[in-house]
Amino acid sequence: MPHWIFTEEHEMFRKSIRAFMEKEVLPNIEQWEKDGETPRTLYKRMGELGYLGIKFPEEYSGLGLDLIMEAVFTEEFSRCGAGGVQSAIGAHTSIAMTNIWKYGNQEQKQKYLVPGIKGEVIAALAITEPSGGSDVSGLKTTAIREGDYYILNGSKTFITNGVNADYAIVAAKTKEEPIHRNVSLFIVETNSPGYSVGKKLKKLGWRSSDTGEIFFDNVKVPVENLIGNENEGFLYIMKNFQYERLIMALGCIGAAEKALELAVKYSKERIQFKQPLSEFQVIRHKLVDMAVDIEKARNITYRALYLYNKGENCVTEATMAKVYATEMVNRVADQALQIHGGNGYMMEYPIQRIWRDARIQTIGGGTTQIMNDILTKQLGILS
């Protein structure tokens, strides 16, 4: 339904994205799920249309539009019903390249941001390690400076685009102490000697995105590939988490809308006891509850988006949006599958993919438990 945060221009853009999805993405999802990755041709095509550079300035080949416009793109993209495709593109634009745009210098932007916006290269963000997920401060990967290079050693896991990326934004410790002031971000080209990719990880959901392990064995990273200031990487990561969590919440809203749409359609077509499922009050009420749940998440998320777009601190609001929307999409997808009955458990029905894809949302980008811990501090519950 219409919302005050969107203008007529936003709604026109929404229609163009939806048309693109129906023509060039939806027909290919099953194949991409089997392939276990989103093809480079999609990045290239989206780069040609400007979809990879919505928020980025025109001087870097972007469209120079506002974050609300990118929010429209995220919602519509997630409605394709394949979280893997949306996560692959989102990891490239919203998570990886945003660090270069926000904190990189002009040379880095021209060398790495511009071709990324054009879809000529694929980017990944490499933070998570085998020894710890949500504990960013506990990184073990190190980058020791030797002359004009940093020598990078360590490993990363669960990296979206980790198999096919041309460069990765890597978080590494540049000194031991003090904690939170000892991490730096680097642009690391994946063809660098000593850089290797392990197996492509097999996942429950998000199968149309490649997820991999990365290993660094004395990788020489030029000093000029340091993003921003040395030892300030933890601060950059935390700042970008606000937007990453907003993007995840928006994606959950789009996916939940698709799940509800499928459930409504199925309830009207499926005949049981000589009448459509939609004629049963219990099913109608279940669908209404799902719609209300989505609307709650939408308004919490849009409020946070509005504040973020204004440049205000919205840690509390973005964290709340991430918590509620990610839990919501799991509830809605589960109920939608339940309405499908036995057919919902069959692989030929798309609701099973939405259900599988939804499960990661309460884990990635900070678990619900970590989010709640942040909120106890933000709300003054924990002194």
Known catalytic residues are: 244
Beta pairing partners, 195 = 216
What secondary structure letter does DSSP report for 232?
B
d(CA 225, CA 218): 16
Amino acid at position 148, single letter? D
Amino acid at position 160, single letter? T
List Cβ neighbours of 200 (8 Å cut-off, separation of 6 or more).
36, 37, 163, 210, 211, 212
Task: Give the 3-state secondary structure of residue 151.
Answer: strand
DSSP 59-116: GGT-----HHHHHHHHHHHHTTS-HHHHHHHHIIIIIIIHHHHHH--HHHIIIIIHHH
What secondary structure letter does DSSP report for 364?
T
d(CA 260, CA 67): 26
Give one word for 213, left, alpha or beta, with left for phi > 0 and alpha for psi -120 to 50: beta
Task: Give the 3-state secondary structure of residue 228.
Answer: coil
For residues 221 and 186, the answer to whether their CB atoms sit within 8 Å is yes
Distance of CA 179 to the CA centre of its chain: 27
CA distances from 143 to 146, 230, 238, 330 (A): 9, 11, 20, 39
DSSP β-ladder status, 167-173 and 149-160: unpaired
For residues 91 and 144, the answer to whether their CB atoms sit within 8 Å is no
Measured in degrees and rounded to the nearest 5, phi and psi for residue 263 equal: -65, -40
Beta pairing partners, 150 = 145, 221
DSSP 18-46: HHHIIIIIGGGHHHHHHHTS--HHHHHHH
